[in-house]
Structure formats: structure tokens, C-alpha cells
Amino acid sequence: MIVGFDYGSSNCAIGTMADDRQVRLLELEAGRCYLPSTLYAQHNTLIVDFVAKQLANTEYGNDYRQSRLALLNGIGAIRQDLDLATGDTGIHIGQAAIDEYIDFPEEGYFVKSPKSFFGAVGLKPQQISFFEDIATAMIMQIKHRAEQQLAQTITHTVIGRPVNFQAVGGEQSNQQAVDILTVAAKRAGFKEVEFLYEPLAAGIDYESRLNQDQKVLVIDIGGGTSDCSFVQMGPSYRGRSERQQDFLSHTGKRLGGNDLDIATAYRSFMPLCGLDSTLKSGLPMPNQLYWQACKINDLHLQTEFYAQASSRHLQAMLKDVSEPEKLARLLTIQQNKLGHQVVRQGELSKIALSSDAHYVAELGCIDDDLTKLVTQTQLQDAIADSLQQICILAQDAITSAQTQPDVIYLTGGSAQSPLIKAALQQSLGDIPMLNGDNFGSVTAGLTKWATQIFK
């Protein structure tokens, strides 16, 4: 069985080609085709335990168990301490992971958008192994749910990938991320795995509806990355199994919807926690701790923020600041691992302000009855730098292609924002701009490409 697999930074989806040659997205969670890219484990070693049990009696089983033996030797005591029943994995994915994190933020291990970390520079071998385990555990469960619906074993897939996984690191970072995903997909049971740029996948879905050739600039603003692909498309091109000669340019950066959420949370909510206030000496508050609290897609900053040293530092600062009641809120975030919940309110603000003039963010997780009114103007100010970077990516793609596009095709969860559209139009001029399926275009294109190359 052949599928397209969008292992996205915000959501995961799987598509298959139906008998009527239309792409069908499979249900992955409670009647929904899009599963949030999140994982929660009551203890991080439970992820290793889950993968080891799934790989038992497979070609990968013995080698995997030997490579994780030190961790697995302590799993019995961990399960007993957590009072886990036989058969209870202690791990959750998707919305269930978010629900568990909200209920028990300080007790387990929660990761959102794991793909955002795969290309990180300076990862140690044990960190790469752990990301392989996270990806494997998620892909195993997603694949199993898809196979239950299809009543068939899935063997071949094309997985979407950004043009660049990281802003720095270059091709070495890209290869590291692709290797992690390849290892995970193979361990999950896929026999053949190929990759396709996510904006190209979205473009392939758009191309299937064209009745004349066009030069198309596809701008995919995903959860973790923004990517542009400038492609020649249409009836003269879509039957080809090799499309490299049709690609005029690619640009991409690790900057996506998650970064817009982080920027919104930082500028809108951190002042409630003391950002922009002063020390008793009159000096401004250092902003590094506030940035660490919000930067949920940076492994190193999050590790630093939730370390005991940060807790001691914040507690010591309480007597030196002019507004200790505000800094106490940052300490609450630090001690209860609430960064994801705070940034989630940034995301909800961004979504609501796509159509509404203002949004009231609920921050009771930090302080009882704490709220913050966020306006469209405040959102625009918060994400102005990110909008400029996205426009530069698009301009660079056009410059590299040495020609103007006939149309701009927008896709990705944040592409529906009127602020992004307005910024692109101001930067690029009066080029026709179309919106695709903001969530389904990539999956549909991956599915069509998988069907074409594996047929």
C-alpha cells in the first residue's frame, strides 16, 4: 500500500489514492484527519520502552535493544514508580498528548513539533538517538491507525520535508534531519521511503487542476519552516516522474507559524511577567529568561530555562526587581513547565486575529483570572520581523529564478493570515495570489507523487 505522509511541524496527515483517483485523507484521531505533532510521555524512557517492544521480533529488534540497554535496564523500576498497568505505554500523541500536558505539565515529558529539532546544530549522538525514538514512536502509532482504516499494510511512502530544516547548519543539518526521519520510518515498518520538498508537494496538488502551463511560486508557511519553490507547472509537465529540470529555484528557512506564536507570546504576555520593567537599581530587566520561556522550538534554550539554576536565579532576583509580583509569574512558568501553554495562547491570538479586531488571551495557568487583550496592531508589531523574513525568502526565490511568476500559490497553516498576504503583496507587487488548502495541499501532493513514483 502506498501513502503520502505529511509529518509536519504543526500537524501530521496521511493520504491515499482512492479508486476514483482522488486523494483521501485518513482519519488519525477522533474523527479528524490532522493529528497535532505532539508527544507526551510520563517518563522519557517509556518512549524507548515502547519502541523496543514494537521492534521485538523484527530485523531491527536486537540491535535496537542492545543500543538502548542502559535505559531499558531501569524501565521496570520506572513503570513500578509510575504505577503503570501491564499494557499501558504511558505515552500519548496528538490531542491526547496536549490534554495530558495541560493536566500534568510538571510530571512528564512533552514535545511539540519534534521535527523542528531534527536539524539542530551540535546535537550529541544520544540526542540524535532520542529524536529518532520520538519520531519512531509517533510514526509507528500514526501508521498503525492508518492501517486499521485501510485494513492493509502500508509499505511505501513519500514524506514531506522543508527546503531547510534549520536557519544554520546548511546541508549537514538537512542530512541529519532526513537521516532521523528515514531511520524512524524504516523502524516503523515502511519498506520504501522517499522525500519531497513540502512546497513542491503543495504545488503538485495545485498543478493537477491546471489546464495551461504556468510559472508558479509556491509559498508554504508551515509550523516550523517557510519554504518557497518556483516551478514550471501545467499539462506539459505533470506527467513526468523526474521534475528536477522544472524547478527554477528553492528558498527556505526555519521560520514558521510556531515562530509567529512565540513572537506573539513574547511581546504580548511576557510584560505581564516583568519584561520591560526595571530592577530596583533602575536598570532594565534582562530579556534572556523571557525569551527562553517562550522559545519552545529551541532545545538548548528550553533546557537552560527549566534547569534548577534558572529557578534559583529567578528566586534570587525577586528581591532586586521593582515589580516582584510580575517576576513571580515567570517563576511560576519556569517551575511548572508552562511555556507550551503560554505559547498556545499566542497561537490562539494569531488565529483569532486573522478575522477579529481583538482577542482576550486566557492566562489563568500562570495567575488566577489573568487575561490579556491582544489587538491586530499588537500582533502586526510582534511578527513584523518574521513577515519581513518571509518576504525576503520569496524575493530571493524570484531573483534566483530570473523570471516573474504568473501566480503565487499560498499554503500552510499560517498562510491564511491577512497580515502575511498584505506583506507579500506590498513586497512582491501585483502578482495574482491564490490560497490552496492550507492544511491538505501538502498531503495531497505527497500522495499523488508517491502514487506516481511507486506505481
User: For domain 2-198, is the CATH number 3.30.420.40?
Assistant: yes
Which pLDDT band, with edges at 50, 70 and 90, does 209 fall under? confident
The confidence score (pLDDT) of residue 340 equals 92
Average pLDDT, the chain: 93
Picking from 7, 109, 132, the residue whose alpha carbon sits closest to that of residue 63 is: 132
**Distances in whole angstroms, Cα of residue 296 to Cα of each of 110, 111, 157, 258, 299:** 11, 9, 29, 9, 7
Which pLDDT band, with edges at 50, 70 and 90, does 385 fall under? very high
The confidence score (pLDDT) of residue 156 equals 98
First to last CA, the chain: 10
The confidence score (pLDDT) of residue 105 equals 81
C-alpha cell, 120: 539542530
Q: DSSP string of 394-447? A: HHHHHHHHTS--SEEEEESTTTT-HHHHHHHHHHH-S--EEE--TTTHHHHHHH
The confidence score (pLDDT) of residue 437 equals 73
User: What is the Cα–Cα distance from 105 to 112, expressed in whole angstroms?
Assistant: 13
**Out of 137-141, 161-165, 239-243, 445-449, least confident range:** 239-243
> What are the two backbone dihedrals, phi and then psi, of residue 395, each rounded to the nearest 5 degrees?
-60, -40
pLDDT digits (tens, 9 = 90+) for 304-322: 999 999 999 999 999 999 9
Which pLDDT band, with edges at 50, 70 and 90, does 104 fall under? confident
Picking from 50, 3, 12, the residue whose alpha carbon sits closest to that of residue 149 is: 3
Q: Crossing angle of helices 324-336/308-317, nearest 10°?
A: 170
pLDDT digits (tens, 9 = 90+) for 238-289: 878 788 888 899 998 989 999 999 999 999 999 999 999 999 999 999 999 9
The DSSP code for 49 is H
CB burial readout 252-263, b (16+ within 10 A) else e: bbbbbbbbbbbb
pLDDT digits (tens, 9 = 90+) for 360-375: 999 999 999 999 999 9
User: What 3-state class would DSSP assign to 9?
Assistant: coil
Q: 384 or 167: whose pLDDT is higher?
A: 384
pLDDT digits (tens, 9 = 90+) for 428-441: 999 999 987 767 88
pLDDT digits (tens, 9 = 90+) for 318-347: 999 999 999 999 999 999 999 999 999 999
C-alpha cell, 388: 519581513
415, 390 contact by CB (below 8 A) = no
The confidence score (pLDDT) of residue 106 equals 77
Q: How many CB atoms lie within 10 A of CB 312?
A: 10
pLDDT at 422 over 70: yes
Query: pTM above the 0.75 mark?
Result: yes
User: What is the Cα–Cα distance from 253 to 392, expressed in whole angstroms?
Assistant: 10
The confidence score (pLDDT) of residue 299 equals 78
Which pLDDT band, with edges at 50, 70 and 90, does 167 fall under? low
253, 167 contact by CB (below 8 A) = yes
Q: DSSP string of 123-188? A: --HHHHHHHHHHHHHHHHHHHHHHHHHHTS---EEEEEE-S-SSSSSHHHHHHHHHHHHHHHHHHT
pLDDT at 157 over 90: yes
246, 183 contact by CB (below 8 A) = no
Mean pLDDT of 213-238: 92
pLDDT digits (tens, 9 = 90+) for 5-50: 999 988 999 999 988 789 999 999 988 999 999 999 999 999 999 9
265, 279 contact by CB (below 8 A) = no
What are the structural domain ranges in the chain? 2-198
95, 40 contact by CB (below 8 A) = no
Residue type, 279: L
